[in-house]
Amino acid sequence: MPPGKKKPRTYDPAKTRAAVTAQFGHVRDAVRGLDPEQLALPSGLGDWTVAELAAHIAWIADSLAGGLARPPGAVAELTAVEWPSVTSSLAGKISEAARETLDGAPLPELYDRAATRMAEALAANPGARVLHLWIGDMTLADFLVTRTVELVVHTDDLNRAAGLDIPIERQALAACTRLLADALALRAPGGSVEVRIPPFAVVQCIEGPRHTRGTPPNVVETDPLTWLRLATGRTGWAEELDAARVSASGERADLSALLPLMS
């Protein structure tokens, strides 16, 4: 490995699988209790209603099973940390595919079907299995890490849009926080700014003088949910600074030009 290059972060495949399954289960339980008024609420994501957002989350699980049903790819082309930088360009295609796949069945039926298909597919495939995807072929283990981002971020979307309190699995929150922190470091490599997202992640980014000991001169710190909202464009840098949900010290500690990482 070249000097100064960090070893890629690794994730426990069994814990990631369990986190994805559990988070989908939490959303599934909550969606069963939504009434028509809640389902008709705006989701905060374009023109989607809460019902359409909930259906999209069901598609996330169903499409994972669908991907595993297709012939495998030969070699992984994309790693988990590279995924955020390429997925935004496919947002329209993903939305269209979700509408085509979800056949208008009641949400509880969609969730039951997706949960069964996902569980069977995961049980039958190892983490090294390569999925053939639009964005580039990925191992199942890496792709599951990206599913924690989709599930946790959309769980937070549902909670805020419909006034819910769906639990967020600690392992899922940890994985998606770390993945998006590493994606920031990949987008702006360097060591002049330290970004802290306790208790899950600390990364250095942005070219400039690198500190070697003690407190670095440029530090950004925030909590995991605020970080995920910033990284996915749910909120803005200035807004979170004003609300004191982000602290930033040092002349280089401004991430506004780098965010969002995906939307």
Does one domain contain both 116 and 30? yes
**178 within some domain:** no
CATH of the domain at 126: 1.20.120.450
Q: Which residues pair with 221 in a beta bridge?
A: 196, 247
Is the separation of the CB atoms in 250 and 193 below 8 Å? yes
Q: What is the pLDDT along the chain (263 residues), one digit of tens a residue?
A: 444 456 889 999 999 999 999 999 999 999 999 999 999 999 999 899 999 999 999 999 999 999 999 999 999 999 999 999 988 766 666 666 656 655 678 999 999 999 999 999 999 999 999 999 988 999 999 999 999 999 999 999 999 999 999 999 999 999 999 999 999 999 999 999 999 999 999 999 999 876 666 677 899 999 999 999 999 999 999 999 999 999 999 999 999 999 999 97
**176 within some domain:** no
**82 within some domain:** yes
CB pairs under 8 A, 24+ apart, for 243-251?
246/220, 246/221, 246/222, 247/219, 247/220, 247/221, 247/222, 248/219, 248/220, 248/221, 249/218, 249/219, 250/193, 250/216, 250/217, 250/218, 250/219, 251/218
Does one domain contain both 67 and 141? yes
Is the separation of the CB atoms in 28 and 157 below 8 Å? no
Does one domain contain both 22 and 104? yes
Tell me which of 139, 171, 203 is where a domain ends: 171
Does one domain contain both 151 and 41? yes
Does one domain contain both 37 and 166? yes
Does one domain contain both 133 and 231? no
Does one domain contain both 87 and 209? no
Does one domain contain both 73 and 99? yes
Does one domain contain both 155 and 223? no
Quote the pLDDT of residue 196. Answer: 98
Q: Using the 8-state DSSP alphabet, how is residue 42 labeled?
A: B
Strand pairing of 201-205 and 193-197? antiparallel
Quote the pLDDT of residue 7. Answer: 80
Q: 214: left (phi > 0), else alpha (psi -120 to 50), else beta?
A: left
**25 within some domain:** yes
* Domain count for the chain: 2
**180 within some domain:** no
Residue range of the domain that includes 122: 13-171
Does one domain contain both 150 and 222? no
**20 within some domain:** yes
Between CA 248 and CA 238 the distance in angstroms is 11
Quote the pLDDT of residue 5. Answer: 59
Quote the pLDDT of residue 3. Answer: 43
Q: What does each C-alpha distance from 8 to 71, 74, 166 come to in angstroms?
A: 28, 22, 31
**182 within some domain:** no
CATH of the domain at 192: 3.30.1050.40
What pTM did the predictor assign?
A: 0.93
Edge-to-edge strand order for the sheet containing 219-222?
201-205, 193-197, 219-222, 246-249
